[in-house]
Amino acid sequence: MKCELISVGTEILLGDIVNTNAQYLARRLADNGISVMFQHTVGDNEQRLLDTLDLAFEKSDMVITTGGLGPTPDDLTKEVCAGYFGIPLVEDKKSLSKIKDYFKSKKLTMPSSNRKQALMPKDSIILENKNGTAPGCIMEKDGKIIIVLPGPPGEMKPMFEDGVVPYIKKFSDGVIKSHNIRTFGIGESAMAQKVGDLLDMSNPTVAPYAKSAEALLRVTAKAGSEEEAEALLKPVVEEIQNRLDGYVYGIDSESIEEATVELLKQKGLIVATAESCTAGLVSKRLTDISGSSAVFTCGVTAYANEIKEKVLGVRKEHLQKYGAVSEVVAAEMAIGAVRLSGADAAVSVTGIAGPLSDSTEKPVGLVYLALSDGKKVKVTELHLRQSGDSCREYNRTASASNAINLLRLFALSYPEMPGGSTDAEEYISNF
């Protein structure tokens, strides 16, 4: 079955918020064997929503809407969709009492405007909202289906998983299965050269995607069952892993931080961070992963030089002679973080994220990373973006990804330090 997504909301159309719902639904529908060929966004406008429904049903049999179920008068998705099918709205007692309970549990009085959220299309399947006040619903008419979901992702996702996934099973066109082969340190063009011939395959298909400082290959197979799909995928995934040996950090890992935390857990290692220009982004990303408390102990964001000295033990004369953005300061920050925390290793980041440089003449985008286990240290120099609107964000994100990758390489080669590391004391005293 073919499905189209309609995201409803002036806040998306005008660009106030990013549409993350479309991404989530597209992925989960594909997982469940439903093909999404088109996604649309319209404002909270009756006529334009009707036009878009018309359009979607020209090519597809199922439409999923998100957004426009709120209590305010401009929220009209449910009303318009029911009207499109000619179905009247009736007050649903169960939904109304749930909305009342929701406000009671928050010790609030239900505003009268929320009452309209309990008006539901007659004979529709009502989808309970466990995280908010607006129920969703599924309407069917002459072989066409509209599934109406709320806009806030925290409400939409559980409703989709609990109410929609079981419903759509019967429409699955077989199974679409993908594996994402995630790489670090190889560009999209270079990767295409190594595996370019595989991009012409049809089942499975292989497609390359680049994102900041990373590149991934998505291998996708379509088959009658999950087992058949896996049998198609396996040899291709293995072939790619062989060709990209050394660059692959994970298959189906969500991110480099997930792969790194997982590897640190397996090896029983504990790490720490010392950050200047990324200012907590490395520790934030490591701890995005649930259960990371087993592998992460301490992070120091040493934004000011005196904190680098006082908390991390960076030598004042090095800060003065070489500046905060220097090899030796990166090294001392990492060594200092190990000593402060007692972790097995620490990674440090010091650089110029931009858009402006510091008082030295160093270029924006110059970043030093160091990895230390307290005894040895390895420093890496990065040259990232020198200018551009998003250079600060890009430079911080890419620096953090590289720092996390150093921790991954540490775990991989443990108990040895990764190649290129030198004696910590010697390194520092040679400056």
Q: Which two tokens stand for residue 361?
A: 């003449």
Report 34-53 residues binding a second copy (CB under 8 A).
Answer: 36-43, 48, 51-52
∠ CA 424-427-321, nearest 5°, is 125
x-marked contacts with a second copy along 142-171 as a string, rule CB under 8 A: ----------xxx--xx--x----------
As measured in angstroms, the least distance from the Cβ of 43 to a second copy is 7
Chain centroid to Cα 129, Å, comes to 24
As measured in angstroms, the least distance from the Cβ of 187 to a second copy is 8
Report 290-319 residues binding a second copy (CB under 8 A).
Answer: 290-291, 293, 296-304, 306-307, 310-311
Q: Does 32 bind a second copy (CB under 8 A)?
A: no
Q: Which of 175, 219, 269, 282 binds a second copy (CB under 8 A)?
A: 282
Instruction: List Cα–Cα distances, 238 to 226, 289, 338, in angstroms.
Output: 18, 27, 37
Query: Would you tell me the crossing angle of helices 256-267 and 391-413 to the nearest 10 degrees?
Result: 20
Q: Does 218 bind a second copy (CB under 8 A)?
A: yes
Q: Does 388 bind a second copy (CB under 8 A)?
A: yes
- Contact assessment for residue 3 and residue 63, using Cβ atoms and an 8 Å cutoff: yes
CA–CA gap between residue 216 and residue 230 (Å, rounded)? 19
Q: Is 60 left (phi over 0), alpha (psi -120 to 50) or beta?
A: beta
Q: Does 211 bind a second copy (CB under 8 A)?
A: yes
Q: Does 255 bind a second copy (CB under 8 A)?
A: no
As measured in angstroms, the least distance from the Cβ of 363 to a second copy is 13
Q: Does 275 bind a second copy (CB under 8 A)?
A: yes
Residue number with CB closer to a second copy (140 or 239): 239
CA–CA gap between residue 168 and residue 239 (Å, rounded)? 34
Partnered with residue 379 across adjacent β-strands are 370
CA–CA gap between residue 397 and residue 281 (Å, rounded)? 8
Q: Does 355 bind a second copy (CB under 8 A)?
A: yes
- The H or E element containing residue 273 is strand 271-275
As measured in angstroms, the least distance from the Cβ of 280 to a second copy is 3
Region from 32-40, 230-238, 314-322, 418-426 binding a second copy, contact rule CB under 8 A:
32-40
- Which amino acid makes up residue 225? S
Residue number with CB closer to a second copy (183 or 278): 278
52 C-beta neighbours (distance < 10 Å), count: 20
As measured in angstroms, the least distance from the Cβ of 414 to a second copy is 20
Residue number with CB closer to a second copy (62 or 87): 62
